[in-house]
A and B are shown apart, each in its own frame.
Chain A
Amino acid sequence: MLSGSLEVIGLIVLAIYIIGMLGIGVYCNKKYANNLSGFLTGGRNLGPWVFALTYGSTYLSASTFIGNTGTAYKAGMAYLMMPVAQVVLLPLGLIFFSHGLRRVSVRLNAMTLPEYISKRFKSNFASIIASVVIIIFMVPYMVGVIKGGALSLASLLGLSYEVAVFLVAGVACVYLIFGGYMARCYTDVIQGLLMAFGMLAVLVAGFFIVGGPTEIAAGVAASDPALLETPGPMGWSNLFLFSAVYALTPWGLPQLVQTNFTIKDKKTIYVSSIVLSIWLGAILIGSMIIGNMGRAYFGDQFIDNPDLVFPNLVLTFFPNILGAVVIVAVIAAAMSTIDGVLMTSGSAFGVDIYKKFIRKDASEKQTILVSNITMFVIIAVVIVGSFMELPMLSYLNSYAFSVIAGTLVVPVFAGVYSKKGTTAGCVASMLAGGLGTLFFYMVMPGGNYILGCPPFVSGAIVSTIVFFVVSKYTQPLPEAFVEDLFSKEAEEGAYASENIEIGSEK
């Protein structure tokens, strides 16, 4: 950990960061969080930089710094190619899919993913499935993210683990409750920039201290010559498949899909894809190079606990204020993911269950209040979960994302691209996708592959087949309703400015 006066400097940098994040929450409270649309979508007005960094920093978390570098430290230089599919497919995904999601969500006036699925396929049951899956499986995921961030913070700044958990989880919850969606987005911009700075600072310092590719390769070879082999034990297909799966899951994850509902215009899509490609490339490829730098520098010192590689590189390279900034970047990475997931979970209950089923005449203020109370309760459960060693939580965390994405990815795409989907087809595909992904994990513990496919891909394939087969033999949706979603008017109205007055109370 940072020692002596450096520890004090580290705590000061952390305090400045936390005050900044809370300040953004207070600012957004006045400007955006007074009505439901402002609270949930910020008036659907995200510009390119805010959208790109919100999307990217929600997608990556502290595990990018700690887990990626640790994995590359153990696996060697083959992993330099590991993130390639993500770096290519994620920005291209925005170009090809964002506009359609924005168009349909505006036409349906949907602000959350369960609401989008419910209105698109005219099914309240689909909304319940989506909301329940989100709330149940997001909790263990949040526990994993908060544990990672808190352990880093505790080990590097000398705080107790309990205090670190309260800081990472509590601060994110407070600025969300104050400022809603725009607080999430504006803090994500700061956090995304911090993440890029932190990763690049370590990378550049490493090139000066450890050396360039030749020196890194020599150091890695001295530790274990087998680590120079590409593709290594994984084989070519798995090397790229693994990354490709991570590039596909965002299209089934509500905290990422919903950001597409809120883009300002088409220009935002194109500019943000440029920003995202460079930002992702720098961070993901950087993390893999840094892992190999760690192997060259430390040898096999951390072979039993590779999660310590990145923190120790930071302490070695930057025994100064820069080290404190990089540590805060790791915390920012955790917080930027937590805020998106927490906001999604809160609205899943407040908007998609409470206002839709429990109290249909609830005012916007009441719906926001219930969403906020839900976020508070969920974060309390997550904090308690972070203090306890529950094997069940770790077990659920290992496949939480896959089950959520497996449940939702087919209705998300079908809603934009298929005119043939029916209510029954949607519900059946969600059940088949979620339960199928779960089943593939159960029959192949550890998330191993079925016929070469990861469980999420297998679940998504089953979900797709079920969607089209059931839709073929069940009652179609009203033709006029479906045609309207694909009409010229829908296309022209895709970026109609939100019919709310930001800052007005309802």
Chain B
Amino acid sequence: IFYLGWFVGPILTVLTAAYCTYRYVKYLKTGD
């Protein structure tokens, strides 16, 4: 084009940040 290497790092970075954000929002709602 299998190119994937250009996307794997950035996508996993965003997914990790998204999970951390989810945990933060959960903490704000439940305190845990």
Chain A residues close to B by CB (< 8 Å): 77-78, 80-81, 83-84, 87-88, 91-92, 95, 213, 230, 266-267, 270-271, 273-274, 277-278, 280-282, 284-285, 288
Contact = CB atoms under 8 A, between A and B. Distances in A.
A502 to B, nearest CB: 27
B5 A277 contact: no
Interface string B1-32: 00011101110110011011101100100000
B21 A281 contact: no
Given A77-B5, A267-B27, A270-B27, A88 B20 contact: no
Given A270-B20, A270-B23, A78 B5 contact: yes
A80 B8 CA distance: 8
B12 A87 contact: yes
B25 to A, nearest CB: 9
Contacts of A84: 8-9, 12
B22 to A, nearest CB: 9
A83 B13 CA distance: 10
Contacts of A277: 13, 16-17, 20
B5 to A, nearest CB: 4
B9 A285 contact: yes
A281 B5 contact: no
B13 A273 contact: no
A273 B16 CA distance: 9
B9 A81 contact: yes
B21 to A, nearest CB: 6
Nearest to A82: B9
A78 B2 CA distance: 11
Nearest to A95: B23
B9 A281 contact: yes
Nearest to B26: A270
Nearest to A276: B20
Contact of A87 (B4, B13, B24): B13
Contact of B6 (A80, A87, A91): A80
A274 B21 contact: yes
A277 B16 CA distance: 7
Given A95-B20, A270-B23, A213 B6 contact: yes
Contacts of B24: 267, 270-271, 273-274
A266 B13 contact: no
Contacts of B21: 274
A88 B23 contact: no
Given A267-B27, A281-B10, A281-B13, A273 B20 contact: yes
Contact of A285 (B4, B13, B20, B23): B13
A98 to B, nearest CB: 12
Contacts of B17: 91, 274, 277-278, 281
B10 A273 contact: no
Contacts of B13: 87-88, 277-278, 280-282, 285
B5 A88 contact: no
A80 B23 contact: no
Given A88-B12, A274-B21, A281-B13, 12 more contacts: A80-B8, A87-B12, A95-B23, A213-B6, A267-B24, A270-B27, A277-B13, A281-B12, A284-B9, A285-B9, A285-B13, A288-B9
A204 B23 CA distance: 31
A213 B27 CA distance: 39
Nearest to B4: A230
Contacts of A83: 9
Contacts of B20: 91-92, 95, 270, 273-274, 277
22 contacts: A80-B5, A81-B8, A81-B9, A83-B9, A84-B8, A84-B9, A87-B9, A87-B12, A91-B16, A92-B19, A95-B20, A95-B23, A213-B6, A270-B27, A271-B24, A273-B23, A277-B16, A277-B20, A278-B13, A280-B13, A281-B10, A281-B16
